[in-house]
Amino acid sequence: MRQELKRAFALALAATLVLPYAAAHGGEQATRQTGLTLTQAGSQSVSIVHRTLELRVDYDAFTRSFESILGKFDRAVMASLASDPEGADAKMARMEGEQGLMIFAAQDHGALFAMTGSQRKARRYHVGNPRIALQMTSLDIRAGLYAPLSVLVYETEPGVVKVDFDQPSTLFGQFGNPAVTAIGLALDRKLEMVIQRATQLAAQQ
């Protein structure tokens, strides 16, 4: 059963890699099959800095600390964005945690390994602030592609945790808008400060 699951995961992974490539490079054939009419298409290479921080802390202690110092986004606020924008803004401000950031969602990737009979500790967080996101998307809507940010926390061995993320300033800097890039630079500092604070708290547990 576990071997079958592993083969199934391998096939699923292959599909996620091959199908997007085929769709992107299939040219006219892919367009004909989907019935999609493109008026314009473009692509460009961008330089993104990927950061990996290695921390000498316990995984559970770090994730508890990380989650405790960040705020939590409450989707209920979405219902009042148009009818009461000032009230909605105040509610979102109260959701803010360390460095003004909050968690939108989290996925326990490590839990999935139980299906293959193995164990891993890994959790992906969506971290940001809708008020900060609006500052950027008001200047360039494409900034919404990277807001909120994605942060992966995983254990490499007992007592050793790695935190992976793409540096915000390089994600948002690709759009060539100095004001958006400036906000991205501020997010660089905010995210690193959050990780540093969570590490300090974890070490005290």
The pLDDT, as a whole number, for residue 125 is: 98
Which residues, including other chains, have CB under 8 Å from residue 158's CB and lie 6 or more apart? 58
CATH class assigned to 46-203: alpha beta
Print pLDDT tens along the chain (205 aa): 445 544 544 444 444 334 444 444 444 454 455 666 778 888 989 999 999 999 999 999 999 999 999 999 999 999 999 999 999 999 999 999 999 999 999 999 999 999 999 999 999 999 999 999 999 999 999 999 999 999 999 999 999 999 999 999 999 999 999 999 999 999 999 999 999 999 999 999 9
State how far the alpha carbon of 143 is from the alpha carbons of 79, 149, 165, 174, 181, in Å: 23, 11, 16, 9, 10
The pLDDT, as a whole number, for residue 36 is: 66
The pLDDT, as a whole number, for residue 22 is: 41
The pLDDT, as a whole number, for residue 110 is: 97
- The closest of 153, 158, 98, 84 to 128, measured between CA atoms, is 98
Q: Rounded to whole angstroms, how far apart are CA atoms 97 and 37?
A: 45
- Determine whether 32 is exposed, middle or buried from the number of CB atoms within 10 Å of its CB (0-12, 13-18, 19+): exposed
Tokens representing 65?
Answer: 């600390």
State how far the alpha carbon of 103 is from the alpha carbons of 26, 57, 78, 139, 150, in Å: 38, 21, 16, 23, 10
Q: Rounded to whole angstroms, how far apart are CA atoms 77 and 22?
A: 39
Which residues, including other chains, have CB under 8 Å from residue 171's CB and lie 6 or more apart? 48, 146, 149, 184
In the chain, where the domains are located: 1-43, 46-203
